[in-house]
Amino acid sequence: MTIAKLGYTLLGLFIVWNWGFLMGAIFRKIGARVSGRIGIPFYQPWINFFKSVGVRTTITHGVMYYLGPVFRLTGGIGLLFFMPLIYTGDPNGMWTNFSFEGDLILILYFQLFGMLGMAMGAGEGGHPYSAMGIARGLAQHAAVELPLTLAILSIAIQYDTFSMYKIVEAQQGGFQNWVLFTNPFAAGAIILAMLGAMGHSPFNLVKAPNEILIGPATEYEGTYLGFMQSAGSILHVMEAVLFMNLVFGGATSWPELIVKTFLIYFWSVFVGMVFPRYKIEQSITWFFKVPLVLGVLAIIVFSF
Amino acid sequence: MEYITITTGFLIILAGLWAIMTRKNLIRIIIGFSLFDTGIHIVMVSMAFVKGGVAPILDKKELLTDTAHKIVDPVPQALVLTAIVIGLGVTALMLAYAMRLHQEKKSLDIESFKDLKW
Amino acid sequence: MISPIHILTIGLGGAFALGFVPKKAKDAAAVLMLAAIALMGVLTGSWLIGLINGESAQQIFTAGFKPPFSINLLMGLNESVLTTAVNFIGLLGGIYLYRNLKEAGNHAVMVFLIFIMGLNVVIMTRDIFNLFVFLEIVSIATAGLVILTESGKSIQAGFKYMLATGIISGVLLLGIIFAYYYSGTLNIDGLTAANIGALKGGSVALLLIMVSIILELKSFPANGWGLDIYEGSNAGIGAMLSAATATAMYFVLSKLLEMAGSEWNYWVALIGAVSFVGSNVLALKQRIAKRLLGYSSIGQIGLLMIILGFKDVLGDNTPYVAFGILFSHYFAKAGLFWLAGIVKQNDIANWAVIRKKPYFLFLMGTFIFALIGFPPFPSFFAKWELVMELVNTGNLPWVVAILFGSMMEAVYLFRWFGYAIKGENENIEDFKIEWNKILPVGIVAIALYVTGYFTSQHTDAGAAINWIPLFFVAAIFILDFLPVFIKNTIAIIGMAFYFYTIYPDLDNLRLVFEAIFMIGGILTLIAGYAYKGTRPGFYPVALLMYAGLTTIIEAQNTLQFFFGWELMTAGSYFLIIRGKRSMPHGLSYMLFSVGGAYALLMGLGMAFAGQGSYDMSIINSISYIPYWAYGLLIVGFLTKTAALGLHIWLPGAHGEAESDVSPMVSAILLKAGVFGIVLTLIGMGGENNAYPWLPYALGWLGAITAFSGNLMAVFQEDAKRLLAYSSIGQLGYIVLGFAMMSHLGWLGGFSYVVNHFLYKAVLFLTIGAVVLRVKTHNMYEMGGLIKRMPLAFTAVMIGIIALSGVPPLSGFAGKWLFYNAILEKGWYLQGAIMFFSGGIAFMYLWRLIHTIFLGQLKDNHRNVKEISIWFLIPIYTLLAGIMVYSVKPQWVLQPLGDIVAQWFPDGQLTWDGGTAFTKYGHWAGTAVAVTIIAAFLVVTALLMISTRKAHKVKQFDITYSGERPERPETTHVAYNVFEGLYQAMWVATIPLVEKWWNKVSDFLHDTAGIVRRIYSGNGQSYVIHIVLFIIVTYFVIIGG
Amino acid sequence: MEFKIITTLLGILMLAMSFIAIYHKKMIVAVIATGAVGLFASIMYLFLAAPDVAMTEAAIGSGLSTIIFFYVLNRIRQNDKEGRESDEIDEIPNK
Amino acid sequence: MKKLLVLFILAAFVSVLYPLYSSFHGSTGLTEVSQFYASKENIEKVNSQNLVTAVVVTYRGLDTLGEVTILFLTAAIIAFFLKKESDKRTLRKNSEIFKTAAKLLIPIITMLGIYIFINGHLTPGGGFQGGAVIASAVILMFLAFPNMEFSHKFFESLESVSGLVYVGLAAFGAILGLGFLDNAILPLGKFGELFSAGAIPVIYSFVGLKVGAELSNILHKFKSVQADN
pLDDT digits (tens, 9 = 90+) for B77-92: 999 999 999 999 999 9
pLDDT > 80? residue C134: yes
Peptide bond into C540 cis (omega under 30): no
Q: Which residues of E touch B12 (CB under 8 A)?
A: none
Q: Do chains D and B touch (3 or more CB pairs under 8 A)?
A: yes
Q: Is E9 on the interface with B (CB under 8 A)?
A: yes
Q: Which of C189-198, C588-597, C828-837 has the highest mean pLDDT?
A: C588-597
Is residue C718 helix, strand or coil? strand
Distance between CA C412 and CA C408 in Å, rounded? 7
> DSSP secondary-structure letter at C868?
P
- Decide: A119 and C936 in contact? Cβ < 8 Å: no
Q: Which residues of B touch E28 (CB under 8 A)?
A: 50-51
Distance between CA C668 and CA C246 in Å, rounded? 43
Nearest CB partner across the interface for E74, out of B47, B69, B92: B92
Q: Is E19 on the interface with B (CB under 8 A)?
A: no
Candidates E128, C144, E158; CA nearest to B92 is C144
Work out the minimum CA distance from C155 to partner chain B, whole angstroms: 7
User: By percentage, how much of chain C surpasses pLDDT 90?
Assistant: 52
pLDDT of res. A54: 86
pLDDT > 80? residue C556: yes
Residue type at C370? Answer: A
Q: At B25, give phi and psi (nearest 5°).
A: -75, 130
Distance between CA D51 and CA A227 in Å, rounded? 121
Flag if D60 and E229 touch (Cβ within 8 Å).
no
- Among C308-317, C800-809, C972-981, whose mean pLDDT is lowest? C972-981
H-type helices in C556-689, by residue range?
A: 558-577, 583-608, 626-641, 650-656, 661-663, 670-683
C924, containing H or E segment: strand C922-924
Candidates C422, C247, C405; CA nearest to C330 is C247
Distance of CA D76 to the CA centre of its chain: 18
- Among A7-21, E190-204, E208-222, whose mean pLDDT is lowest? E190-204
Q: Which of residues 56-115 of B touch D (CB under 8 A)?
A: 56-57, 71-72, 77, 80-81, 84-85, 87-88, 91-92, 95-96, 98-99, 102-103, 106-109
Q: Is E129 on the interface with D (CB under 8 A)?
A: yes
ipTM of model: 0.88
pLDDT of res. E90: 52
For E139, nearest residue in chain D (alpha carbons): D67
Give the dihedral of Cα atoms A121, A126, A130, A134; nearest 10 deg.
Answer: 50
Work out the minimum CA distance from B38 to partner chain E, whole angstroms: 17
Q: Which of A163-172, C332-341, C452-461, C859-868 has the highest mean pLDDT?
A: C332-341
Q: Which residues of E touch C1018 (CB under 8 A)?
A: none
Work out the minimum CA distance from D41 to partner chain E, whole angstroms: 16
Burial of A175 (0-12, 13-18, 19+ CB in 10 A): exposed
Q: Do chains C and D touch (3 or more CB pairs under 8 A)?
A: no
Region of residue A174 (phi > 0: left; psi between -120 and 50: alpha; otherwise: beta):
left
Candidates D29, D26, D54; CA nearest to D40 is D54
Nearest CB partner across the interface for C977, out of A101, A135, A281: A135
Peptide bond into C895 cis (omega under 30): no
Give the dihedral of Cα atoms A33, A35, A38, A42; nearest 10 deg.
Answer: -50
Bridge partner residues of C272 (DSSP)? none
As a whole number, mean pLDDT of residues C347-375 equals 90
Distance between CA E153 and CA E220 in Å, rounded? 12
Within 13 A of C974's CA, how many CA atoms are on the CB side? 29
For E122, nearest residue in chain D (alpha carbons): D52
Q: Which residues of C touch E82 (CB under 8 A)?
A: none
pLDDT of res. C207: 92
- Among A129-138, C406-415, C511-520, whose mean pLDDT is lowest? A129-138
- C-alpha pair distances (Å), B42 with each of A150, B1, B81, C695: 89, 12, 11, 71
Is residue C960 helix, strand or coil? strand
pLDDT > 90? residue B57: no
pLDDT of res. C535: 86
H-type helices in chain A, by residue range?
A: 2-34, 44-54, 63-81, 104-124, 128-159, 164-170, 179-182, 184-198, 209-214, 216-219, 222-247, 254-274, 280-287, 290-303
Domain boundaries, chain C: 1-126, 459-936
pLDDT > 50? residue A214: no
For B44, nearest residue in chain C (alpha carbons): C177
Model pTM greater than 0.90?
A: yes
What does the pLDDT look like over C47-58, one tens digit per residue? 999 999 988 888
pLDDT > 50? residue E44: yes
Candidates E11, E22, E23, E16; CA nearest to C1036 is E16
- Among A101-110, A204-213, B46-55, E28-37, whose mean pLDDT is lowest? A204-213
Flag if D48 and B85 touch (Cβ within 8 Å).
no
Work out the minimum CA distance from B117 to partner chain C, whole angstroms: 4
Distance between CA C829 and CA C512 in Å, rounded? 31
Q: Residue E211's domain spans which residues?
A: 44-78+101-224
Residue type at C788? Answer: R
pLDDT of res. C306: 94
Q: What is the CB neighbour count within 10 angstroms for residue B72? A: 27
Q: Is E50 on the interface with D (CB under 8 A)?
A: yes
Average pLDDT, chain C: 89
As a whole number, mean pLDDT of residues B17-26 equals 91
Distance between CA E219 and CA C98 in Å, rounded? 29
Distance between CA A135 and CA A216 in Å, rounded? 12
Higher-confidence position of D76 and C443: C443
Q: Is residue E204 part of a domain?
A: yes
What does the pLDDT look like over C245-292, one tens digit per residue? 999 999 999 999 988 888 899 999 999 999 999 999 999 999 999 999
C565 contacts: CB under 8 Å, gap ≥ 6: C548, C552, C597, C600, C672, C676
Q: Which residues of C touch A131 (CB under 8 A)?
A: 850, 855, 972-974, 977
Residue type at C268? Answer: V
> DSSP secondary-structure letter at E147?
T
- Decide: A72 and A219 in contact? Cβ < 8 Å: no
pLDDT > 60? residue C1040: no
Q: Is E115 on the interface with B (CB under 8 A)?
A: no
C951, containing H or E segment: strand C951-952
DSSP letters, C443-488, are HHHHHHHHHHHHHHHHSHHHHT---HHHHHHHHHHHTTTS-HHHHH
pLDDT > 80? residue E147: no
- C-alpha pair distances (Å), C664 with each of C499, C521, C546: 17, 7, 9
pLDDT > 70? residue C196: yes
- Decide: E43 and E59 in contact? Cβ < 8 Å: no
Q: Tell me the pLDDT band of D82, cut-offs 50, 70 and 90.
A: low
pLDDT of res. C931: 87
- Among A206-210, A262-266, C473-477, whose mean pLDDT is lowest? A206-210
pLDDT > 80? residue D81: no
Higher-confidence position of E85 and C833: C833
Distance of CA C217 to the CA centre of its chain: 27
Distance between CA E53 and CA E208 in Å, rounded? 13
Q: What is the CB neighbour count within 10 angstroms for residue C694? A: 20
- Decide: C175 and C997 in contact? Cβ < 8 Å: no
- Decide: A220 and A73 in contact? Cβ < 8 Å: no
Nearest CB partner across the interface for D56, out of E128, E219, E223: E128
Work out the minimum CA distance from C936 to partner chain A, whole angstroms: 5
Q: Is residue E2 part of a domain?
A: no
Residue type at C873? Answer: I
Distance between CA B49 and CA E26 in Å, rounded? 7
- C-alpha pair distances (Å), A110 with each of A164, C51, C294, C527, C809: 14, 77, 63, 34, 11
What does the pLDDT look like over C289-321, one tens digit per residue? 999 999 999 999 999 999 999 999 888 889 999
Higher-confidence position of B59 and C9: C9
E146 contacts: CB under 8 Å, gap ≥ 6: E90, E91, E94
Average pLDDT, chain A: 84
Residue type at C302? Answer: G
Nearest CB partner across the interface for E135, out of D51, D64, D78: D64
Q: Checking DSSP bridges between strand C915-917 and strand C910-912, what pairing results, if any?
A: antiparallel
Chains near B (3 or more Cβ pairs under 8 Å): C, D, E
Q: Is residue E144 part of a domain?
A: yes
For C1020, nearest residue in chain B (alpha carbons): B21
Work out the minimum CA distance from C756 to partner chain A, whole angstroms: 18
Give the dihedral of Cα atoms D25, D26, D31, D34; nearest 10 deg.
Answer: -30
- What CATH number does domain B2-52+67-112 carry, 3.30.479.10, 3.90.1170.50, 1.10.287.3510, 1.10.274.10? 1.10.287.3510
Work out the minimum CA distance from E115 to partner chain C, whole angstroms: 25
Q: Which residues of B touch C156 (CB under 8 A)?
A: 101, 113-116
Q: Do chains A and E touch (3 or more CB pairs under 8 A)?
A: no
Is residue C298 helix, strand or coil? helix
pLDDT of res. E229: 41
Q: Is E112 on the interface with B (CB under 8 A)?
A: no
C73, containing H or E segment: strand C72-75
Nearest CB partner across the interface for B4, out of D11, D30, D64: D11
Candidates D3, C496, A259; CA nearest to B52 is D3
- Decide: C477 and C540 in contact? Cβ < 8 Å: yes
Nearest CB partner across the interface for E129, out of D56, D74, D75: D56
Burial of C140 (0-12, 13-18, 19+ CB in 10 A): buried
Flag if B45 and D45 touch (Cβ within 8 Å).
yes
Q: Which residues of E touch D68 (CB under 8 A)?
A: 218-219, 222
Q: Which residues of A touch C915 (CB under 8 A)?
A: 100
Flag if C133 and B40 touch (Cβ within 8 Å).
no
Flag if E133 and D59 touch (Cβ within 8 Å).
yes
Work out the minimum CA distance from B83 to partner chain D, whole angstroms: 10
Nearest CB partner across the interface for D60, out of E116, E132, E225: E132
pLDDT of res. C118: 94
What does the pLDDT look like over C899-950, one tens digit per residue? 999 888 888 888 887 888 888 888 888 888 888 889 899 999 988 888 877 7
Q: Is E99 on the interface with D (CB under 8 A)?
A: no
Q: Checking DSSP bridges between strand C951-952 and strand A59-60, what pairing results, if any?
A: parallel
Q: Which residues of B touch C158 (CB under 8 A)?
A: 97
Flag if C943 and A66 touch (Cβ within 8 Å).
yes
Q: Is B53 on the interface with D (CB under 8 A)?
A: yes
Candidates C975, C978, C1000; CA nearest to C989 is C978
